[in-house]
Structure 1
């Protein structure tokens, strides 16, 4: 790991922010030059199209790299000043031009995005002592546990024993175990029952399609049998920020409106709209009348690819389902679209009078 790598672990480039920070475009990507230590040195940063950053500290007078600070054994006031100044610049770039990601590997982050978009499931930290471990649950039970692991723990060849991988543990049907063990990238489960759990290395060995299918299957196996069938409506909770969109004015004019398509919502699903801070309460309960409507200029944002038509069923007082009350129904945060808990569905059942 280079000196620079430590500042950009689990980060994803936001190219739109580079110009404002001072980067200029080149035929190799984006470049930034900044003086350090009373202009005796110059930091030169180059970011390629994939967001990878390479850096160099150069002695201005000699026009030669100054790499002494990179050695952990190097000591002295001047070396310390260089490390501090260069590190401060890297921290500013990481904070201003990059976005946080949950995991180090691209495939693990794609998996996290899939779980959010497909099921609206949010990751949690199951172990206080191991903050890098993240779990995904259904009705409180794990169906996916993601964590960093050295290759030697999975019995990988000697050349990769010290390499750290993002790994996911998944539940499988025991009768499928023999066939799964023949697939490259799948191993007996690490620290879980090897009779019904497996470990997948998220290093692109397995294609996303295979990984996503196995995760969806794990979720299905963990889910209690009494959960609704896929043909029955789903119950969703989504946030809305009144600073950006006056949904109240829209509902005053029409009880049926177009709204940004969220997650995998379908016709017949119920949607509770949570107004973000400072309100922090559910204000509207709606039903989806039509989903996956192409955005043909109705919304100016190009990032919005599809819309859904929703019908207002009930308007709540802000005190009815505020953030404190929602905690009693198992809802601690509403940062993005998510499923309602069974307790919240039951509390809203008197108002669920669909079309």
Structure 2
């Protein structure tokens, strides 16, 4: 997946904000360019009328596109620095000029999280899009509700699955992962809204692994 896709999937632009940011409009195409200091490189971005952002880095000395920074295994500090600066700029544009647009067509799941091993509140406070352990059969555009185990013992987060089956080799005494998925936070529930005792009345007696939402819980969530 390209850097642009990772940042702008399910985002739509606010064209007025693009102009305020510094984009120029020509024939319904919005363009923006800026130099990377001390690198003789130029970042060139375009947003078409459908809201699709594309970008490239131009080597000004040779008037050709520089692509080394796009490797999944970037070699060398120069390419790494270019990738960092390019990514920082795109994230800034996404934050200031785009709005998250959760168009969903998939299934709904509930998955568990153990607060002893990972601080989800801190992670989502730093970035609404995070990677999470890949759960069997969950696909892009599905919705996942995250149940946070004791001492919270409640359904807390609603997220859209953006990408799945991302290779990620990790193993410790508590967890093993070969693949992860990328999820985006849509909503946060107070721990008093869906504690375990209420979930039991809505068809969820325990959350030990990923499972589909029962109709009773789906109906109640939709009401709220």
TM-score, normalization by structure 2: 0.51
Secondary structure at the aligned position of 2:58 is classed as: strand
Aligned to 2:145: 134
Q: 1:94 to 1:66 in 2, by over 3 A?
A: same
Counterparts of residues 170-249 of structure 1 (less than 5 Å): 191-192=211-212
Aligned to 2:6: 6
Aligned to 1:264: none
C-alpha deviation, 1:73, in angstroms: 2.7
Secondary structure at the aligned position of 1:51 is classed as: coil
Preserved CA contact (<8 Å) 1:37 1:85: no
C-alpha deviation, 1:29, in angstroms: 1.5
Preserved CA contact (<8 Å) 2:110 2:212: no
CA RMSD of aligned residues (A): 4.2
Greater relative contact order (Cα < 8 A, sep 6+): 2
* Structure 1 residue ranges without an equivalent (≥5): 112-122, 152-163, 167-189, 198-217, 224-337, 341-355
- Which string of whole-angstrom CA distances, capped at 9 and with x for unpartnered residues, describes residues 268-322 of structure 1? xxxxxxxxxxxxxxxxxxxxxxxxxxxxxxxxxxxxxxxxxxxxxxxxxxxxxxx
Q: Does 1:32 align with 2:32?
A: yes
Distance 2:217 2:27 in 1: 48
Q: 1:100 to 1:43 in 2, by over 3 A?
A: same
C-alpha deviation, 1:38, in angstroms: 2.5
* Structure 2 residue ranges without an equivalent (≥5): 114-131, 134-142, 147-153, 166-180, 184-209
Aligned to 1:70: 70
Preserved CA contact (<8 Å) 1:39 1:60: no
C-alpha deviation, 1:14, in angstroms: 1.3
Preserved CA contact (<8 Å) 1:37 1:82: no
- Which string of whole-angstrom CA distances, capped at 9 and with x for unpartnered residues, describes residues 34-86 of structure 1? 11133610000011112111000000121100001111233111111111111
Counterparts of residues 1-355 of structure 1 (less than 5 Å): 1-27=1-27, 29-38=29-38, 40-101=40-101, 103=102, 106=103, 108=104, 127-129=111-113, 133-134=144-145, 191-192=211-212
Q: How many residues align?
A: 144
TM-score, normalization by structure 1: 0.34
- Which string of whole-angstrom CA distances, capped at 9 and with x for unpartnered residues, describes residues 310-350 of structure 1? xxxxxxxxxxxxxxxxxxxxxxxxxxxx979xxxxxxxxxx
- Determine which structure has more spread, i.e. the larger CA radius of gyration: 1
Preserved CA contact (<8 Å) 1:127 1:133: yes
